[in-house]
Every structure is written in C-alpha cells, then in structure tokens.
Amino acid sequence: MKRKVGVLGPEGTFSEKAARRLMLDSDICYFTDFDEVIAAVERSDLDIGVVPLENSLEGSVGQTLDALLSRDVQIVGEMNLEVRHCLLGRGSPEDVKVILSHPQALAQCRGYLKRRFSGAEQRTTGSTSHAARLAQEFPEMAAIADAEAGERYGLAIIDRNVQDSDENVTRFAVVGRSTPKPTGFDKTSLAIYLERAEAGALWEVLGEFAVRKINLTKIESRPSKMGLGDYYFFIDLEGHVTDPPVEEALARIRKRAAVTKVLGSYPRTASP
Ligand SMILES: O=C(O)C(=O)C[C@]1(C(=O)O)C=C[C@@H](O)C=C1
C-alpha cells in the first residue's frame, strides 16, 4: 500500500516538491497549514508529513516549531530544497497591482519586490500555490511561487529567480510517530525549557554537550508564550538519542531543565 504523506496545499507547493523528491511512491494529501499536517500525523490519519523547518534567508518557521513542541510526533528525517521563486501572472508586469504569496516567500523576495514593484500591494496567502491559484482568476494579481505551480495554474512567468539570494534553501522535516534506528550519521533535535533561567543555566546545558564532544548544529530561542523574555531553546546536535554520550548528556540536562523534549533523532543530510 502507498504511504499517505501530508503537505501544505493546494497542489504545487514547495512542500509538495520536497515530499515528492523524498518519496516517489506515495499518496499526497493537502492541508491548509503546517499544524494541520502535524496534527494529522499525530492522529495517525497520515503515515508522514513534510513541513518546512527553517530557511536560509528568513530563519525558522515558527508554526512548525510550535507544533513539534506541542504534539506527540517525531522528526524522522530532513531534506534541504533549493527554493527558486518566479513572479507568475496572466498579464504583463505593468498590469500587476497586487502581489500574492505565502509570508515566507514574500519575505524571501523582499528586496526584489521593493526594487521592482514598490507601488504594488502585497497580500499574504496560505501557500505559494494558493497564490498562483488566485492569480489565475484576476489579471491584476501576480503570485510569487514555483515555476511548476505556474504551469499547473496556467500562468505565464513574468520574472524568474526573484528570491533575494541564490542561496535560498529551505530545510524540511519529515514527521512521523516513531524514532528511526541509528545509522551512524544522525541528528537529534531537542526543545529545552529552563524554568528559572539563573545566571549560567544555558551555559551549563551547553557544557553537557561540550564535555562529551557532541557537536551542535543549531541553537535558537523561541518565545515560551508564558511571558515576555521567557524562552524555549531549540537545539540540533550531531548524534542519535541512543548514542551513550547523547544519552548521558540528556540524563544530566533532564535534572536541570523543566522540560527536555526530544523532537526527533533521524539520519542527517550530507549538506549543511
Ligand atoms: O508555500 C509553499 O509553497 C510552502 O511549501 C511553504 C514554504 C515555507 O513556508 O517555507 C516552503 C518553502 C519556501 O520557503 C516558501 C514557502
């Protein structure tokens, strides 16, 4: 039986592109946002979901991090996708009065939009392909989306490669329900909450990794939503949660931190 894979819809999103690159033989199901995808994995309505985690120009995707933290799922894989945006529409550039896209995509093209379309109104949509579907209906609207979404919705390419840098890479998480076995080339993602952030608390947590020569590939803070200045720390490290040094470090950190949640331990991609 084909695996049921959930992504942001409608057809033609970058999330779908990432999912198809990873799993050729699958049934793709479309959802309105990343939390919906992750919730469907949690309910076992899906085998897996593919959601964006972070982008090289715009940073983390907050909704994905929040859903991974609050829901009972595991990251089971990751993949990096080069994101090339096009300006798509039915008319010529002079006809464009409104530019539509997902907030992440508009932000990745901020410089271009300011330079070339400072007079146009920008409106956010649920996804890049949703923008393309809307632009199909209104000639004064143009969408920032993938060239393939343009083909699917019958739009012309007004401009190609409109992202602000060619180094525009989005890292996607593959989300499932159980932890993959160690491969010897793994990554572990954690969320840590230090209730009483005393002086040196974060330093002590990081020290547990440093003394065991565990390499961290990412650390960032995200609001706990319990008050201004109160944060969760999201940490990625090289290694599997069953590797003895990682296990030891986590056992020590659990004594110190109010929350230590393993978001997943999964094979890491060779590219950074
Ligand atoms: O709207 C889409 O096409 C998506 O899959 C979402 C998304 C994102 O939120 O990061 C995915 C990749 C790009 O970074 C831009 C948009």
Give the domains, in start order, of the chain with CATH numbers.
3-82+168-176 (3.40.190.10), 86-159 (3.40.190.10), 186-267 (3.30.70.260)
Between the CA of 51 and the centroid of ligand 1 the distance, in Å, is: 9
Q: Is the pLDDT of residue 271 over 80?
A: no
Q: What would the pLDDT profile of 101-155 be if each residue is shown by its tens digit?
A: 999 999 999 999 999 999 999 999 999 999 999 999 998 999 999 999 999 999 9
Looking at 14, 31, 172, 234, which residue is catalytic?
172
Residue 117 DSSP code: -
Dihedrals phi, psi of 212, to nearest 5 degrees: -100, 10
Any catalytic annotation for residue 13? no
**pLDDT, tens digit, 9 for 90 and up, residues 225-251:** 999 988 999 999 999 999 999 999 999
The protein residue with its alpha carbon nearest to ligand 1, atom 1, reads 127
Distance CA(258)–CA(249), nearest Å, equals 15
Single out the residue of 94, 237, 108, 117 nearest to residue 168, CA to CA: 108
- Residue of 99, 112, 103, 109 lying closest to 141 (CA atoms): 99
Alpha-carbon torsion angle 132, 135, 141, 142, nearest 10 = 30
CB atoms within 10 A of CB 194: 20
What is the b/e burial string over 208-244, where b = at least 16 CB atoms within 10 angstroms of the residue's CB? bbeebebeeeebeeeebeeeeeebbbbbbbbbbbebe
What pLDDT score does 164 carry?
97
Query: Residue 91 pLDDT more than 90?
Result: no
Please say if 125 is a catalytic residue: no
In this structure, which residue's CA is closest to atom 9 in ligand 1?
Answer: 104
Give residue 76's identity as a one-letter amino acid code.
Answer: V
Rounded to 5°, angle at Cα 142 from 140 and 143: 155
State the complex-level ipTM: 0.97
Which residues have CB under 6 Å of ligand 1? Answer: 8, 13-15, 52, 55, 61, 83, 102, 104-105, 127-129, 170
- Between 75-89, 172-186, 196-210, the lowest mean confidence (pLDDT) is in 196-210
User: Up-side HSE of residue 111: CA atoms within 13 Å toward CB?
Assistant: 9
Atom 14 in ligand 1: which residue has the minimum CA distance? Answer: 170
